[in-house]
Copies of this chain bind each other. A is one copy, B any other.
Amino acid sequence: MGSTLIRGGTVVNADAAIRADVLVRDGRIVALGIGSDWTADTVIDATGMLVIPGGIDAHTHLEYPIDGFTTRTADDFYTGTVAAAHGGTTTILDFVKKEPDRSLYDTYLRRRDAALERSVVDFGLHAIVPPRAQQPDVLDDLRRLAGEGAAGWKFFMAYPGTQMVDDGELLEGFDLARELGVLPMVHAENGHMVARETQLLIDRGDTAEHFHATAHGHDSEAEAVHRAIVLAESVGAPLYVVHVSSAAAADEISRARADGRRVWAETCPQYLQVAYEDYEGLGEKAAAYLCSPPIRERSNQEGLWKALVTGAMATVATDHAGFCLHQPDDLPPQKLRSPGYFPKVPNGVPGIEDRLMVLWEGGVASGRFDACRFVDLVSTRPAKLFGLFPRKGIVAVGADADLVVWDPAADHVITTENTHMRTDYNLYDGMRVTGKPVHVLSRGEHLVDAAGSFSGAAGRGVFAERGAPHLF
Contacts and interface: CB of A to CB of B under 8 A. Distances in A.
**A-B complex: 4 closest residue pairs judged by Cβ atoms:** A31-B33, A167-B192, A15-B15, A168-B192
Interface in A58-78: none
A196 interface: yes
Given A13-B15, A396-B16, A472-B373, A192 B171 contact: yes
12 contacts: A15-B16, A18-B397, A31-B34, A32-B397, A34-B398, A168-B195, A171-B193, A193-B234, A222-B230, A223-B230, A311-B311, A369-B472
Contacts of A226: 223, 226-227
Contacts of A192: 166-168, 170-171
- Give the bracket for the number of chain A residues in contact with chain B: 35 or more
Contact of A257 (B36, B222, B310): B310
A363 to B, nearest CB: 10
A220 interface: yes
Nearest to A470: B370
A306 B394 CA distance: 27
A372 interface: yes
A255 B227 CA distance: 16
A380 interface: yes
Give the most central of A15, A32, A380: most B CB within 10 Å. Answer: A15
Nearest to A262: B309
Contact of A167 (B36, B193, B231): B193
Contacts of A170: 192
Contacts of A234: 193, 217, 219-220
Nearest to A370: B472
A168 B195 CA distance: 8
Question: How many of these chains are in the complex?
Answer: 4
Interface string A188-225: 00111101100000000000000000000101101100
Contacts of A178: none
A35 interface: yes
Contact of A18 (B231, B309, B369, B398): B398
A254 interface: yes
Interface in A1-49: 13-20, 23, 30-36
Given A196-B168, A227-B223, A472-B369, A396 B20 contact: yes
A459 to B, nearest CB: 29
Interface in A233-261: 233-234, 254-255, 257-260
A255 B255 CA distance: 9
Interface in A382-399: 389-390, 394, 396-399
A133 to B, nearest CB: 15
A13 B306 CA distance: 26
B20 A397 contact: yes
A396 B13 CA distance: 11
